[in-house]
Amino acid sequence: MSSLMHSFLSKPSKSYLVGHLLSLLQVPLTLNQLHQIHSQIIINQLSKTHHLIANFLTSCLNLHHLHYVSLVYNQNPTLSLSNFMIRASIQCGSLGNAVFFFRRMLSSEMCPDNNTFLMVLRACAASNGIVVGQSIHNTILKMGFDYDGHLQTTILDMYAKNRDLGSAHKVFERMRERDVVACNAMIMAYSRHGHVELALEIFKGMNKKNNVSWNAMIDCYCKSGNLEAARQIFDRNPARDMVSWNTMITGYCKSGILALAKELFDAMDSRNSITWNTMISGYVHTGDFTDAFSLFHQMQVERVRVNEVTLVSLLSACAHLGALDMGKWIHAYMRHKRFKFDVVLGTALVDMYLKCGSLDIALQIFKELPHKNIFSWNSIISGLAMHGYGLEAIDAFNRMRECNIKPDGVTFVGLLSGCSHSGLVDEGKGLFSLMRDEYGIEPKVEHYGCMVDLLARAGLLKEAIVLIETMPVEPNPVVLGSILHACEVHKDIELSERMIKRLLELDPRDGGNYVFLSNVYACRKNWDDVDAIRKEMRDRGVRKTPGCSLIEVSNAVHEFTVGDSSHPQFAQISAFLDEINWGVREIGYEAKTEPVLHDIEEEEKESAVRYHSEKLAIAFGLMSTEPGSVIRVVKNLRICSDCHVFIKFLSKKYKREIIVRDKSRFHHFRYGACSCKDYW
C-alpha cells in the first residue's frame, strides 16, 4: 500500500487513479487500508465516480463497517448507488443492510424503482423476511406500483415462501391479468403447502402453459406422494425438458421406487449432474450401496463432472457399509481434484471415518476444518460416544459451548449415549438436567431412552423403572429394550418377562421380542413355553431379523448372513472357522451357549453359535488379508456375548486388531481385550 501512495505523488491522470484504486479493491483489505484509499478518493476529487464509490462501499460492507459506509453513502445518495448497495448487501447475505439502504432512500425523498422493490422482495422470500416483506408491500401500495404484474408476482412469491398462503392467494385474486408467470407462482405456492386440488384447478384453467407450468404440476403430485398422477402429467407434457425428467426421477427416488427411477434415467438422451446425483442419493437412502457405487463408476467413465453433492452421498454410503478403503479413495479423489473442504463436505468426511472405526483420522480432519457448525460438533460428539469415549464427548461439548454454538436435541442424544456406554451415571444425570434448565430443550423419547439405558446398564434397574413410569411421553420399544438388555446382564428374569410382554403389546410384529421371551423361558427350562412362543411366531408370520455382517476386502464389500451359505468361498470360510475355533479353545475360550433356545445337547448348542454372521465375516477377513492388518466388521444387530468373548480370544491368538460396529456402538478388540471393558 505504501508503494501505491508513493505513486500518487507524480500526479497521474484521473482515469489511471480510478483504475488503480479499483484494482486494489478487488482483494481483501483491512479497515486501515480502506481509510487510505478513501483519503485518495477525497484528495483527488473522485467522490462522484459512481462505480469507484460503489466498489469502495462494498469492501467496507464486507468488513461489516456499516457506520462508515453510511457516512460515505450520505455524501452522494443517488438511486443508482442505492440500488448497487442494496444488491451488494443481499449478495453478502444481509437483508438488514439492504433494508437499511432502502429506508435511507425513502428518508432522502428518493423514489425507488421497480428494480429496487424486486431486489428487496426476493431477498425477503429467500431469508424468511415476512415482516420486512409486508412493510415493502405496503410501501408499494402507497406509491402506486401495485399495477405492475411482475412486481405483483414477486410479492405473491414472497408471501408463499414465507408460508403466508392466505396473503399470496389475496394478491393472486386481485391481479388484473394473471399471466403464465403468476399462475406458475401460485401453483408452486399451493404445491409447497400440499394443496394439490387447488394447484390443479389453476393448471387446468391456464390458456397458455410453459415448461415451468408442467414441471410445477409434476412436482406437486410427487410431493403429495401421488406418483401415478405425476407420471401421467409427465407423459402428457409437450414441453418436457431436463427439469421434467429430473423432477419425476426425484419423485420416484424419494418414494423408494428405484426401478422406475432407473428406467427413466436410462431412457434420457442427456443427463446433467442433478440427474446423476439424484439417482446416487436415491440408492444410498434405500440402502442399495452397490448400485450407488456402480453408478458413480459409470459417471466417471462418461466423464460427468463430480461435485460436492455426489461425494457427500458416496461418503454416506461408505459410512453405512463401513467401507474404509473406498472412503479413503474418495478422500484422495477429493484432494486430487482440489475440492474445497467446506463444512458440509468436511463433516461428511469426519462422519465417514468415525463410522468406519478410524477415530484418529476423524479427529484430525475435524480439527483442521476451517469452519465448524452444529452438525460438525454433533458428528464428533456422537462419534466419540459410539467409540466409548464418554468423557471425551463431554470435553468436545464444552469446547463447542466455548465457540458459542448452541447445542440441540441431537447433541444431547450423543452425550447421554456416551455416558451410557461409559458408565458415567452422575455426568449423564447432570447433562439431562442441563438440557432442560439451561437450554430449554424438552426431552424427547430418545433422550429418556438414553437415560433408561444409562441407569439400567449401571444396575440401577429400580430407578430406571421409576423413570419409565413417570416420563411424560409413552415409552417406545427402544426404551423398553434398554431395560431388557440390562435384565439379561443382571439376570433379572422376572423383570425381563414383564418388559417383554409390554414390548409385544407395543410391537407384536418384532420377532426379536418373541426370541427374547423364549430365552427367558429357556433359562427356566420351560421348554413347553418355548415351543408355544415359537408356534405363535409361526402362526403370526413373524420372523426374527437375521444377523448380518459386512466386511470390506480389496475394495469389495462382502455380506454374511447367519444360515446363508451363498458366498462363493463359503466352504473354505467354514473350514477355516472350524480351525480358528479350535485355536482359541487352546488358549481358554469356551462357547457361551445360554442364548440358544432349544432343549438340545451342549455340542449342538455350540454348533448353533459357531456360525454367527460376525464370526463368518472375521474368518473371511483373517484368511483374505495381510497378517497384522486391521479387520473391520459392521453388524446390523447387537453383538452376542459368545461372539464378544470369541473375538477377544481371536485378537489375542492372531495378534490382530478387530473392530466391530454393532447397532449401538464400536468394539475395538486388541490383545485379548475390548475397548468396551465388557460394559455394553
Q: Which amino acid is at 207?
A: N
Pair 338, 614: CB distance under 8 Å: no
Q: Residue 326 pLDDT more than 70? A: yes
Average pLDDT value for residue range 380-389: 95
| Strands 658-661 and 673-674, sheet pairing | unpaired
Alpha carbons 652 and 670: distance in angstroms, whole number: 7
pLDDT at residue number 329: 93
pLDDT at residue number 396: 97
pLDDT digits (tens, 9 = 90+) for 575-594: 999 999 999 999 998 876 65
The CA–CA distances, whole Å, from 158 to 124, 138, 139, 150 equal 6, 13, 15, 12
- What stretch of H or E contains 439? none
Percentage above 90 pLDDT, the chain: 46
Strand partners, 658: 631, 669
The CA–CA distances, whole Å, from 59 to 21, 104, 117 equal 12, 19, 24
pLDDT at residue number 597: 47
pLDDT digits (tens, 9 = 90+) for 404-415: 999 999 999 999
Q: Residue 136 pLDDT more than 60? A: yes
| Strands 631-635 and 658-661, sheet pairing | parallel
Strand partners, 631: 658
Mean pLDDT of the residues in the chain: 85
Q: Which of 11-20, 128-137, 368-377 has the highest mean pLDDT?
A: 368-377
Least confident of 24-33, 158-167, 296-305, 448-457: 24-33
pLDDT at residue number 67: 63
Helices and strands (H, E) in the chain, number of each type: 37, 6
Comparison of pLDDT for 492 and 190, the residue scoring more? 190
Strand partners, 560: 549
Strand partners, 661: 634, 666
Start-to-end CA distance of the chain, whole Å, equals 63
Q: Which amino acid is at 154?
A: T
Average pLDDT value for residue range 420-443: 94
Average pLDDT value for residue range 547-560: 90
pLDDT at residue number 13: 67
pLDDT at residue number 8: 45
List the alpha helices (DSSP H) in 286-342: 289-301, 308-321, 324-336
Q: What angle do CA 619, 620, 621 make, to 5 degrees?
A: 90
pLDDT at residue number 1: 47
**Measuring CA to CA, which residue among 270, 228, 236 is closest to residue 252?**
228
Q: Which amino acid is at 412?
A: F
**Measuring CA to CA, which residue among 601, 661, 669 is closest to residue 637?**
661
Alpha carbons 305 and 276: distance in angstroms, whole number: 10
Alpha carbons 261 and 255: distance in angstroms, whole number: 10
Q: Three-class SS of residue 274?
A: helix
pLDDT digits (tens, 9 = 90+) for 51-104: 677 777 677 666 666 666 666 666 667 787 777 777 777 776 777 778 877 887
Q: 582 Cβ partners below 8 Å, 6+ apart?
A: none
pLDDT at residue number 7: 47
Strand partners, 15: none
Strand partners, 660: 633, 667
DSSP 8-state secondary structure symbol assigned to residue 655: T
Pair 513, 500: CB distance under 8 Å: yes
| Strands 631-635 and 548-553, sheet pairing | antiparallel
| Per-residue cell: 179 | 399471466
Alpha carbons 146 and 213: distance in angstroms, whole number: 24
pLDDT at residue number 23: 75
> Which residues in 630-644 are b (16+ Cβ under 10 Å) and which e?
ebbbbbebbbbbbbb
pLDDT at residue number 72: 64
Alpha carbons 607 and 603: distance in angstroms, whole number: 6
Least confident of 132-141, 226-235, 367-376: 132-141
**Measuring CA to CA, which residue among 624, 615, 614 is closest to residue 568?**
624
Alpha carbons 562 and 548: distance in angstroms, whole number: 7
C-alpha count within 13 angstroms, C-beta hemisphere, residue 541 = 0
Strand partners, 548: 561
Q: 509 Cβ partners below 8 Å, 6+ apart?
A: 540, 542
Comparison of pLDDT for 479 and 228, the residue scoring more? 228
> Would you say the C-alpha torsion 55, 56, 59, 61 has a positive or negative sign?
negative
Tally Cβ neighbours within 10 Å of residue 546: 13
pLDDT at residue number 659: 95
**Measuring CA to CA, which residue among 243, 242, 254 is closest to residue 217?**
243
Residues making up the chain, counted from first to last = 680
**Measuring CA to CA, which residue among 530, 537, 550, 576 is closest to residue 659?**
550
Pair 343, 364: CB distance under 8 Å: no
Q: Residue 242 pLDDT more than 60? A: yes
pLDDT at residue number 9: 47
Q: Model confidence at 130, in pLDDT bands (50, 70, 90)?
A: confident
Pair 295, 313: CB distance under 8 Å: no
> Which residues in 570-606 are b (16+ Cβ under 10 Å) and which e?
eeebbebbeebbeebeeeebebbbebbbeeeeeeebb
Pair 343, 372: CB distance under 8 Å: yes
Strand partners, 565: none
pLDDT at residue number 538: 81
Write the class of the CATH domain 443-540: mainly alpha
Pair 421, 388: CB distance under 8 Å: yes
| Per-residue cell: 432 | 439431562
pLDDT at residue number 595: 52
> Which residues in 9-18 are b (16+ Cβ under 10 Å) and which e?
eeeeeeeebb
Q: Residue 119 pLDDT more than 90? A: no
Q: Residue 111 pLDDT more than 60? A: yes
pLDDT at residue number 63: 60
Strand partners, 632: 659
pLDDT digits (tens, 9 = 90+) for 593-615: 655 544 444 444 445 567 889 99
Q: Which of 360-364, 458-462, 553-557 has the highest mean pLDDT?
A: 360-364
Average pLDDT value for residue range 365-371: 92
Q: Three-class SS of residue 654?
A: coil
Q: Which amino acid is at 46?
A: L
Average pLDDT value for residue range 280-284: 94
DSSP 8-state secondary structure symbol assigned to residue 555: T
Average pLDDT value for residue range 478-507: 77
Alpha carbons 566 and 674: distance in angstroms, whole number: 31
pLDDT at residue number 657: 95
Q: Model confidence at 31, in pLDDT bands (50, 70, 90)?
A: low
Is residue 257 packed enough to be buried (19+ CB in 10 Å), middle (13-18) or exposed (0-12)?
middle
Alpha carbons 272 and 460: distance in angstroms, whole number: 57
Alpha carbons 588 and 605: distance in angstroms, whole number: 18
